[in-house]
Amino acid sequence: MRLLMGAGLAIGLGLGAVAQTIHGRDGITLPPPPAVDAVAVADDYFGTKIPDSYRWLEDARSPETRAFIEAQNVYTARYLKQAKIRPQAVEDLDALENVSQMRMPTERGTNYFFTKRLAGEQQFSIYVRHGWTGKDERLVDPAVLGRDPNLSVGLADVSRDGALLAYRMQQGGADEASIHVLNVKTGRTLEDELPTGRYMGVTFAPDGASLFYARNDKEGTLLYQHVLGTRTSHDPLLFGREFRGEPLGRNDLFAADVTDDGRYLVVEVERGVPASRVDIVFRDLNKPGSPFEVLVWGLDSRFSARYAKGAWFVRTDYKAPKGRIMKADPGVMPEAWTTIVPEGADVIEGWSIVGGKLYVNRLRDVKTEASVYTLDGKAAGKLEFDGMGSASGVEGRSTDRYGYFSFSSLIVPPTIYRLDTTTGKREVFFQAKIPFNSSEYELKQVFFKSKDGTQVPMFLAGRKGLKQDGSERLLMTGYGGFNVSILPNWSAMAAWWLQQGGWFALPNLRGGGEYGETWHEQAMFEKKQNVFDDWFAAAEYLVAHKYTSPQHFAITGRSNGGLLMGASLTQRPELFSAIWCGYPLLDMLRYQKFLVGSYWKTEYGSAESEKQFFYLLKYSPYHNVKPGTAYPAVMFFTGDSDTRVDPLHARKMTPLVQAASSSGRPVLLHYSLSGGHSAGVSVEQQVQDDADQLSFLWTETGQAPAPR
């Protein structure tokens, strides 16, 4: 039996770094971090013993853990109180974030339903506008529903006649929500309420008399129908647990939707996160009690479906890694379907059918290009955008004349447009008044080679004429996973960094979907190191081309991007000066045991497999912290309301790095008692959190003090 003599064992036995005064940049000093007990615990993985000295911090509710959180928060607050730029950061971010905002509308007849937040308000409310030029009427105001400013609401669905509205109500950044139904005419909320849970989707039946909802719990995802006015305990189960003898498990996620003509209830079953396979079934609502029929089932590829003008249309990567759109026939294999839009050189990033036309968004080197087709695949024009950036897909129903899309970039705040699908004319639906002068900045794209020679793109933004001599601060963010394309969208925090005179960089790492499923697969399972190598190559490019230098280099990432930050900390600590590691995955041997971590085994693998254990151990940040290493300044950021990535990762990693680091630089835990993984905290809370992050990163990338 082997025993790994690594950081965990040394620190677990109390052999960590000697306590020393901590020195931040710009004159900040701190005492040694709060003392944290290390308790010798070890697990046996296939004959290899792995120490875990901070296992006790996995228990979020124990008095000892709560005392640890309180002590760490006091310590972090002591740092932030000394950060000279923080008051200015709060003021600047309030100007950038505390502005009137609106989200994409849902059109029902001549009425428009949407969420909007006015400047000075803490949360979005739900509104209706009667007619294109009508007055906005507030329907649901979270400030009326409760006193907690972190209580938020979201639009779930609107009945076809616009008489009823279903909305979500959730607390802080939790994924769970309760579902409520509002009578639009009377303004009264019905007694029907779906209790707090993890809802994958909620949609009205065509007649508006019932709701279809999919809820995910320990049993997996289950689809129910709730008839308004009845008890939810009586809701019949429509789909879940098994289909045609094949069991559906905890990691099979799905939602239901109703086709635009109201005929079919459609269920798309995603196997894992990200889905390695998507199955699609449907039920004819004109035939009550009829069984679900198969559109596609059992193929290890991804499919998404739309029904328009009496036909099924499907976007798939089946034998087309960059995607194609096909006209599908139920009950036969895709080889017998008709290709409408063939696979091309650029990945299909999004698609929709609005106004009887097919709108297809492609990524040409990660820049959005949108084409229009007839439903038989004939080219019918393009949507033009104002410069390099990112556009949403065109949203709307196949039976509607108008669709809606948004456009933004790292230096252009977002605008929502209404598109006339008949004439091609567009007009502004909403444009936020954000105090940022886009004309003062430039956005460009560069390419660099990764460790294995792969060409990787990166967006770079900065003030026009900004020096390129290695002396400027630079903030880089990334993700690299789950087939998620990271586009150059507007970000208030990026805007703040640019306004201060820093560079902002966004590399498009493998693991994302920027170049299709092949790009994603190049960084899954045992190939995850490719993400980190791409990231380090991006950093080396920026240093070599004198955009910055290691002492002025800041990086930030959250969730899977938090794992990237952890790998940056443990693999290349000399390359960066400051790291913000948000809502992170860090213990890759135990992640699958907590909350919804088991979903992600289709991306990372699991230490329950001997083969996968060894490659996970090789890069797992928590297991690669080495005592006596000069680690950069780091802030771990999480909160009690993160019900997706368990906060235990940040709790355990913080004392491990605090004890191991020999650099004397700050290692902080910022632990929110109200925030979480999802959006939903108040504007004030968001401004404060963002100011904490950016003040830390800006301060810790300033001029290093002279050697003592």
Identified catalytic residue from 606, 661, 677, 695:
677
3-state DSSP assignment of residue 312: strand
| Sign of the CA dihedral running 461, 467, 470, 474 | negative
How far from 74 is each of 68, 672, 687, 697, CA to CA, in Å? Answer: 10, 12, 19, 19
Helix (H) or strand (E) holding 686: helix 683-699
Longest dimension (CA), the chain: 81
| Sign of the CA dihedral running 186, 189, 191, 193 | positive
Contact criterion met (CB below 8 Å) for 351 and 313: no
- Strand 474-477 and strand 553-558: pairing? parallel
Identified catalytic residue from 409, 559, 568, 695:
559
**Rg from Cα positions in the chain:** 26
Contact criterion met (CB below 8 Å) for 354 and 405: no
Size of the chain, expressed as the number of residues it contains: 708
3-state DSSP assignment of residue 610: helix
Residue 559 is among the residues annotated as catalytic for this protein: yes
Three-state SS string over 524-586 comes to: CHHHCHHHHHHHHHHHHHHHHCCCCCHHHEEEEEECHHHHHHHHHHHHCHHHCCEEEEECCCC
3-state DSSP assignment of residue 708: coil
The angle, 0 to 180 degrees and rounded to 10, between the axes of the packed helices 492-500 and 86-97 is 130
Contact criterion met (CB below 8 Å) for 683 and 150: no
Give the bridge partners for 304, in sequence order.
315
* Catalytic residue annotation: 559, 677
